[in-house]
Each structure stands twice: as structure tokens, then as C-alpha cells.
Amino acid sequence: MPYLDYVAGSPVDDRVVEEMMKYFSHPGNPSSVHSLGLEARNVVEEARNKVSGLINADSSEIVFTSGATEANNLAIIGYAMRNRRKGNHIVVSAIEHISVINSAKFLMKNGFEVDYAPVDRFGKVRLDELESLLRDDTILVSVQHANPEIGTVQEIREIREVVKAALHVDATASLGKIEVDVEKMGADMVTISSNDIYGPRGVGALYLRKGVRVNPIILGGGQESGMRGGTENVPGIAGFGKAAEITKKEWRKESERLKEMRDRLIDGLLEIEETFLNGHPEDRLPNNASVRFSYIEGESILLSMDMEGIQASTGSACTSKTLQPSHVLMAIGLKHEEAHGSVVFSLGRWSRMEDVNYVLEKLPPIIERLRMMSPLYMKKKSGGD
């Protein structure tokens, strides 16, 4: 069954599962002073080394969290609360993940001012507009590295040059697909997640550059150097470490393979009439093909594809319950009906060219059938507007 929804969830690599199995029933708490506790502590610290090694950070700069959502919350809310005396203005890009947008909204309710940096029609942050939003009391700017819905990759280095305030980068979608190097980015905080590199779900991390101070948002017994309370998820963290180790070795080759499949998929999809690419044509994730089909609804395309065994998505699985058009697609200037006709195909480690070929064989008749049921399309066909 062609699975093209890696952006919503990825299988866990067998090598990772094997590593995690060693620790599922291990009783050691990393905070205990006895030898089983020490064993668990070593597992966590070894994983911290591997995760930091993947993004060119120091292991002391990694805080393990329950995922990217928590890491984004910690970065935005934790930084703003800690550094409130320096100013109360923050800027986030208009196409951030909902966990960043909602953290910013939370801050707004708590006396902060928030501005949204607009993007162009390809989803690139407009540098000049971003610059014009920056003020003396701006303490934090948050811009994602790549967008999981439209695939667009941002120029973080260029953004860093104009931002004097702290810079947070959500690299959840880009890790393992393109280079994520915290030094080259010049970021102060970077969010990453385990499942996006074929580790377990419910584990992530925030890179906190040395000297950057945040308030913890999960309060407990001072774990993670006081940055995140709660007993560590030892098997999950061990799995994240293993996934990071594998990704470090394999991502470049893997990305080349993904790119080849993505390009064939995009070329094939765009052969269907009135089909358009969402996001940037070149600066995009190697595993993302996001397109919109005029006159029909993404949801009906998904259901029809599902009956053929193809799984994809209409956008972010995290916000699919709201039935609102995606804020990302609205921010790149799509009309409601265009946003609703969008489908995201995302590829990953187990995708094969056969999957792509299968989609390209099955999808055109689906689109044709759905359009035949679309009054708008039929009106156009018969020479109406």
C-alpha cells in the first residue's frame, strides 16, 4: 500500500525498535544513584551525544522533550517569560506550525505583542517585511526551517543576519531531509523531533545555545538541567539517539533518492490539467509534493485514493479537525477553494518509485471522476465562467 503521508507519521526503523527494546522493561530512573539508575543515565547521555552530533551542537545544549510541540512551547513561551524584562514583542512567521502559532497567541493573552511575518506566494519569508517588523523591544523571532505542508525551505542564514533578537527555528520537517547545522544557521534555539527521522513518537528536543536562558514550562524535579521536569522517557530517548545516529550516516544519500521520486511525482501530477504546485519550485524539501487540483475538494480526493490503497493528506494532520482552510495555504495567497483542493504527498525512507508510479496511474481517473461531479468544473467545460 503506497504510504505517502510521512509528514503526518513515519514508521519507526527496525534498528531503532531493537535499541528501544533493551530499555522498555529496564527499571532504572536516570536520577537514581544506584547502578541501575546510572545505567539509565548513561543511556540518556549517549542519546544526547548522538542527537547533538546530528545537528552540530554540544550535548549540553540539548533538552529532551515529549516532542516538537513541547519544544516549540518551551522555546517561545519559556524564552518570552524568562526574558520579559528585555522587551515584550515577538515575531513569528505566518506559516509556522500550529504549536508555534498557539504559543504566540498564549503570549498575546499574557501581555506580549505579536506580529506575523508574511511570506510570498512560494512560502518564503519576505526579508524586507520581517525587517520592518523588528523593533527595539523585539526579544524573539521564530521562523521554521522548512514547511511540512508546502515543502518550502527558508534562508535561515539570511534571516539571522537581520534579526538581532533571539532566533528560534523549528527544524522538525527538515531534519534528516536537508542539512540542519545549528552553527551554520546561527540559531539560538532549534526544535527537532524523533519520529520525523524514523524514531519513536512522543520524543523531541530543543537545542538551546549555550547562554540562552528559558523558563521551564513543565515543572518538576529539575530533570534536563532544570529545563524540563519529569522522569525521562528512557526507551524513547534511546530510540531518538539511535535514529539520529542512523540519520547522520544515511541522510544525504537518502535525500538524493527522495528527490528523484519527488520530481517524478511532481512532474506526473502537473500533467493532470488545472493542477498546480504549492510551495517553492526549487527550494523545497526533497520528500514533499504539494499540489492543488482546481474544482474539487482535497478530502474527496483523499477518500478516493484511500480506496485504491494510497494514503496522503490535505495538510497538517494536527489541524485537520478544525475544517478551516490551512493557514499556510491562506498565507501564500490561495483562495479558500484553492486551499481546499490541495493534497500533500510526502515520501520517506521506505518509499519506492513503484509507489510513485502507482499514484500516477491511479490518480488521473480519480480526479477526472470527481470533476465530472463538480458543478463548477462542468460549468467551465460548457463554456461558462
Amino acid 57 reads A
CA–CA dist 65, 350 (Å, integer)? 27
Single residue of 52, 93, 144, 233 touching ligand PMP by CB under 6 A = 144
Residue with smaller CB distance to ligand PMP, 295 or 345: 345
Residue 170 binds ligand PMP, judged by CB under 6 A: yes
Site for ligand PMP in 237-296 (CB under 6 A): none
| Distance of alpha carbon 343 from alpha carbon 151, whole angstroms | 12
276 is catalytic: no
Distance, CA of 240 to CA of 233 (rounded, Å): 10
Total interface residues for ligand PMP by CB under 6 A: 13
Nearer to ligand PMP, 99 or 313 (CB): 99
| For ligand PMP, the closer CB: 28 or 325 | 325
The minimum distance between CB 227 and ligand PMP, in angstroms, equals: 17
Nearest to 312 by CA among 360, 240, 373: 360
DSSP state of 347: -
- Which of 98, 218, 318, 330 is the catalytic position? 318
Q: Pairing relation of β-strands 62-65 and 204-208?
A: antiparallel
Query: Residue 343: what are its φ and ψ, rounded to 5°?
Result: -135, 135
Q: How far is the CB of 72 from ligand PMP (least distance, A)?
A: 6
Q: Identify the three-state secondary structure at position 203.
A: coil
Euclidean distance between CA atoms 59 and 342, whole angstroms: 40
Distant-in-sequence, close-in-space partners of 132: CB < 8 Å, separation ≥ 6: none
Cβ nearer to ligand PMP, comparing 65 with 304: 65
The residue among 218 and 318 lying less far from ligand PMP, judged by its C-beta, is 318
Within 8 A by CB and 6+ apart from 109, the residues are none
Site string for ligand PMP, 344-363 (x = CB under 6 A): --------------------
Interface characters, 47-86, with ligand PMP (x: CB under 6 A): --------------------xxx--x--------------
- Residue 307's Cβ-count burial label (10 Å; 0-12, 13-18, 19+) is exposed
Residue 152 touching ligand PMP (CB under 6 A): no
154 is a contact residue toward ligand PMP (CB under 6 A): no
Q: How far is the CB of 201 from ligand PMP (least distance, A)?
A: 6
- Where do contacts with ligand PMP occur on this chain (CB under 6 A)? 67-69, 72, 97, 99, 144, 148, 170, 172-173, 193, 318
